[in-house]
Structure 1
């Protein structure tokens, strides 16, 4: 194999791995407008004159101010959108990893195939040269011309063996060339998919950053006392939903014990309590919701899909009344959040940006359904 082919294979491997190892960009919440700028914008002593050609815009002060509950709902909606975009990002990353691994496999297969073709061509060339040296007749064919019956039979066998060997070399050469063509086409297809998923990652990352930035901006505009009240409203809303869920009799028949694998997954997940939520994170220092659950079950020896939507789509489903500790509860209509049931009506989960891995009521969010990784 020449240096150009080696270089091409090396570049293929490096490019495939580079796409996946690109660092996630950090970002900061936007700074609130300065008091001086706010005063200047609303100062009645600085009107915009009619002769300036500028159009006056209604000031934010004239807009009806949202109450704290409306702010809470808006912030929650923004984080929900960020959660859905995070799932899309994680899925694109997961697919890109698989496609990159497949490209690496195909590149190696192409290298092996080219070496094999070189070897087979060498064998075919040797057979052709031998035939030329023997006057166009292989040694077996010359023996067939002998008057000796035994030599004649030996010649027939040798001709037959030679023909089979030649057909074998040519057949293997043809198959290897066909395989190389298939590998090349598959590699091209996977590169196209890899690029498509890279674009999906970029779009999802932009969406996540925009939604989180908008939510943080809303929070940053609140006074310290309002932020404290906002947190209390969040807790009250969660408590209200949890109470309604418990009052429905949801826990009436839920008294099952965790499986051996479920206990291991639970032990891992609860050991992460207190670590921060970071979108796209899979540990060990931070997690997003599905990063926590997928790593917990991986630690239990049961690898599961990376995203909450794929966990909902691919894992076996069980009725709420049949769930046991270690099962995963999927939330919201778009399956954009997941937590692990720990028993007694509680889950461990990574809530959202700005929050840490924690325990919460299993019914504190809208439940879509329950899946069991070890069913």
Structure 2
């Protein structure tokens, strides 16, 4: 929209976002280029930013899981060490008892010298039971030692994995920031007239893509949502007007998959965090079977996602600088659709459309 692009251009001109990492060296934007080329460049940068954001989100999700695994192993290791300490105390008592009884006669000699052989046999049985208990104590101690060592190795390995993921997350974050800096750099080079022309061209392109999608018959009649789908849509609608922010999962801001994941989580049907995982793990459905609450996934790499609300429209967190809004379903090149709350009606094959 013109106002949205104008806001972005003004913000880029006022500040270069000191928190952003420096952008890689590229050719200076040429404001004399045709509007179509400028729009292509801008869309390319937005797409690269969203790809970097997806990488960041996926790494952050893996890092959270790894941190939980480190905490779990640390807890188990602490319990294993406590059990080992108790085993060592029992083994110490066993050693003291063996030392104190070292001068006693052997059970076999006592049996030979006993006036009551039966009593001696009973006593031998008790001695055997004691020996088995002592052997069990030693066995438990040995097992505790091995478990403690195995857990210590696993904890070290998990910690190393967490540190590796943290480094990957930082790299992904820096990549997002660099891409955003490129977007702002391009927008800052534009005149108000170019910004207006860009918005008009984008609006027309979207209208053309929507018209082609509708006339192709790819979209069917709207179907009623499931109870979970209705709750997911209602949650998403309540987020209208909130800003897009990469890596955000609400409640103040969202990125594209942060919005869809939170909406379905609040509907009682948790789904994967990223658009790529949502596309990979949720049942695929044809576009003609869409019902409100289903997710529409975009671009060949599945790097953007929106929620279908009916009447050929979606609700989405579109891109940096924009807000959660309603959009035509063809606002980006459609890859296909998935249904979070059930199996696909016609198998798992995705329905793909090219914008």
Instruction: Give the structure-1-normalised TM-score.
Output: 0.79
Per-residue Cα deviation, 1:113-165 (whole angstroms, up to 9, x for no partner): 11111100111111121122123659978875644244234223312322221
Q: Match for residue 209 of structure 2?
A: 241
Q: Match for residue 349 of structure 1?
A: 316
Alignment map for 1:283-322 (pairs within 5 Å): 283-322=250-289
Q: Match for residue 24 of structure 1?
A: none
Q: Which runs of 5+ in 2 are unaligned?
A: 1-10, 17-26, 343-355
For the residues of structure 1 that align with 2:137 and 2:13, how far apart are their CA atoms?
68
Q: Is the 8 Å Cα contact of residues 31 and 190 (structure 2) preserved in structure 1?
A: no
Match of residue 176, structure 1, among 139, 144, 147: 144
Alignment map for 1:220-235 (pairs within 5 Å): 220-235=188-203
SS in 1 for 2:179: helix
Per-residue Cα deviation, 1:165-213 (whole angstroms, up to 9, x for no partner): 1222222222222222222222222222222222221222122112111
Q: Match for residue 242 of structure 2?
A: 275
Structure 1 pair 343/160, CA: closer, same or farther in 2 (3 Å)? farther
SS in 1 for 2:308: strand
Match of residue 83, structure 1, among 33, 36, 50: 50
SS in 1 for 2:67: helix
Q: Is the 8 Å Cα contact of residues 12 and 187 (structure 2) preserved in structure 1?
A: no
Between the two proteins, the alignment pairs up a number of residues equal to: 321
Root-mean-square deviation (CA, aligned residues, Å) is 2.4
Alignment map for 1:59-70 (pairs within 5 Å): 65-70=32-37
Q: Which runs of 5+ in 1 are unaligned?
A: 1-27, 34-58
Q: Is the 8 Å Cα contact of residues 305 and 311 (structure 1) preserved in structure 2?
A: yes
SS in 1 for 2:41: helix
Q: Is the 8 Å Cα contact of residues 308 and 335 (structure 1) preserved in structure 2?
A: yes
Per-residue Cα deviation, 1:195-235 (whole angstroms, up to 9, x for no partner): 22222212221221121111122112222232122222222
Is 2:123 aligned against 1:158?
no
SS in 2 for 1:363: helix
Structure 1 pair 32/222, CA: closer, same or farther in 2 (3 Å)? farther
Q: Match for residue 190 of structure 1?
A: 158
For the residues of structure 1 that align with 2:107 and 2:332, how far apart are their CA atoms?
84
Q: Is the 8 Å Cα contact of residues 272 and 357 (structure 1) preserved in structure 2?
A: yes
For the residues of structure 2 that align with 1:99 and 1:244, how far apart are their CA atoms?
45
Q: Match for residue 349 of structure 2?
A: none
For the residues of structure 2 that align with 1:223 and 1:295, how far apart are their CA atoms?
38
For the residues of structure 2 that align with 1:262 and 1:142, how far apart are their CA atoms?
82
For the residues of structure 1 that align with 2:174 and 2:32, how far apart are their CA atoms?
29
By how many angstroms is 1:282 displaced? 0.5
Per-residue Cα deviation, 1:297-321 (whole angstroms, up to 9, x for no partner): 1111122111111111122222222
For the residues of structure 2 that align with 1:374 and 1:196, how far apart are their CA atoms?
34
Per-residue Cα deviation, 1:10-60 (whole angstroms, up to 9, x for no partner): xxxxxxxxxxxxxxxxxx846699xxxxxxxxxxxxxxxxxxxxxxxxx98
Instruction: Give the structure-2-normalised TM-score.
Output: 0.84
